[in-house]
A = this chain, B = another copy of it.
Amino acid sequence: MPTPTVREKPTPEDAVRAANHRFFAAFEALSLADMEAIWAHDDDIQCVQPGWDLLRGWDDIRERWKRVFRNLKRVRVAISGNWVRVEGSVGWVACTARITTAFAEGFDEAIVQATNIFVLRDGHWLLVAHHASLLPATLRATVQ
């Protein structure tokens, strides 16, 4: 694709931020294919989600997303506080995600803090660790 205008080359931080955005976009799209594209398919990748034990390896993580997507009708994610740091071929992001999910029976809202780690492989930033946990705002909202 030709470069349409004179433009600064994206920084590694921009590229990691874009990869982080693609991860949450895959979640919103309930797309296993998009999840497959954003994760590294290694045996030692990690996934921690609220209410679940650690998952390791692409096979188990893929299976989890498949089940999550099966149970959801619609998801909307609003990201804020997108802090990115890159050192060499590793980048990590801390961000807050307000996740609204619709099930068959109703809907739910959660505010989670996520730490996502990406590695650069063949020019692509791939997700190797996702750790998400509920923030106090969610707990307060649940109590009210």
A interface list, Cβ under 8 A from B: 44, 46, 48, 50-54, 56, 81, 83, 85, 87-90, 92, 94, 96, 113, 115, 117, 119, 128-129, 131-137, 139
Contacts and interface: CB of A to CB of B under 8 A. Distances in A.
A119 B56 contact: no
A14 B136 CA distance: 35
Given A81-B54, A87-B90, A128-B85, A115 B115 contact: yes
B96 A54 contact: yes
A129 B50 contact: no
A-B complex: 7 closest residue pairs judged by Cβ atoms? A133-B133, A90-B90, A88-B88, A115-B131, A46-B94, A131-B131, A48-B113
A44 B13 CA distance: 13
Given A115-B131, A131-B131, A94 B51 contact: no
A94 B129 CA distance: 9
A128 B94 CA distance: 12
A129 B115 contact: yes
Nearest to A87: B90
B44 A133 contact: no
A129 B116 CA distance: 11
Nearest to A52: B136
A139 B54 CA distance: 15
